[in-house]
Amino acid sequence: MALLALAVVVSGLGCADECRLGQGKCEGNKAWLCHGEGENSAGRKVWREFQDCGPSFCKASSQGAVCSLTDAKDPICEFSVDNWPGAGVCQGSIPVRCAIGYRVEVGQDCQSPALCDASGYPFSCVTLGGRHPICQQLDEPNLFVRTACYNNSVVFCREGNLLNYTDCPNSQCGAGAPPPPDAEWCSPSGKCIPYAPEPVAACQS
């Protein structure tokens, strides 16, 4: 009888160590993740401590475990409920990193939604003349200025770089009409560059 009881206890301890790869849990405000042992994590799955959350809140799901800045889920992070270790989003001009529906990091205020870049890590604020995520998508080997909507701001791009921007705080950014023939965008310094022959983004009421 004693041997049977011992077998049950040992079996219970073994089951407690098993988990599903990528799963998360919280113990004593510490985040734990399920890892696989062996080559390519193909072996037995075991729990390993990931992070001590300290003053933050440990939150876990089947997708992982994180240290959240708030006790409740953040509506701005709804897109990340199935995402770990995290993805960025701009809340106005402030970059926020989200994971499994929680806010886990906040960057510095970039002063304009057009300058907020939460796509990389660590966060960065775009500067005029610098590479910009949306401008890089529009990059092409020509001399045109191209426009786009980004975080409800109009951005003016050339060769992947941000030339200028206009925020649309009380209206919505959208595609307008194609520019007139020979239309040019002129910088504050007076340098003028032709628009690409495509609809120009603008703040629309």
101-110 confidence digits (pLDDT tens): 999 999 999 9
Judgement on whether residues 114 and 145 belong to the same structural domain of the protein = no
Judgement on whether residues 28 and 110 belong to the same structural domain of the protein = yes
Judgement on whether residues 121 and 140 belong to the same structural domain of the protein = no
Judgement on whether residues 77 and 141 belong to the same structural domain of the protein = no
Q: Whole-angstrom Cα distance, residue 90 to residue 97? A: 9
Give residue-wise pLDDT tens across range 167-192: 999 999 999 999 999 999 998 888 89
pLDDT in the model for residue 86: 83
What confidence category does residue 17 fall into, taking pLDDT thresholds of 50, 70 and 90? Answer: low
Judgement on whether residues 168 and 115 belong to the same structural domain of the protein = no
Q: Identify whether the C-beta of residue 131 lies closer than 8 Å to the C-beta of residue 160.
A: yes
Say whether pLDDT at 10 is over 50.
no
What confidence category does residue 122 fall into, taking pLDDT thresholds of 50, 70 and 90? Answer: confident
Among 125, 156, 191, which residue terminates a domain? 125
Q: Identify whether the C-beta of residue 146 lies closer than 8 Å to the C-beta of residue 158.
A: yes
Q: Which residues of 88-97 are buried (b: 16+ CB within 10 A; e: fewer)?
A: bbbbbbbbbb
Judgement on whether residues 93 and 149 belong to the same structural domain of the protein = no
Q: Which domain holds residue 115?
A: 24-32+46-125
Mean pLDDT of the 134-163 span: 91
Q: Whole-angstrom Cα distance, residue 68 to residue 23? A: 17
Does residue 39 sit within a domain? Answer: no
Judgement on whether residues 98 and 167 belong to the same structural domain of the protein = no
Give residue-wise pLDDT tens across range 30-77: 999 998 887 766 678 899 999 999 999 999 999 899 999 999 999 999
Q: Which is higher by pLDDT, 72 or 6?
A: 72
Mean pLDDT of the 110-117 span: 95
Say whether pLDDT at 4 is over 70.
no
Work out the mean pLDDT of the chain and round it to a whole number. 87
Among 81, 103, 125, which residue terminates a domain? 125
Does residue 79 sit within a domain? Answer: yes
Judgement on whether residues 82 and 101 belong to the same structural domain of the protein = yes
Judgement on whether residues 113 and 155 belong to the same structural domain of the protein = no
Does residue 95 sit within a domain? Answer: yes
Say whether pLDDT at 117 is over 70.
yes
Q: How many domains would you assign to the chain?
A: 2
Judgement on whether residues 102 and 138 belong to the same structural domain of the protein = no
7-16, 107-116, 157-166: which range is least confident on average? 7-16
Does residue 114 sit within a domain? Answer: yes
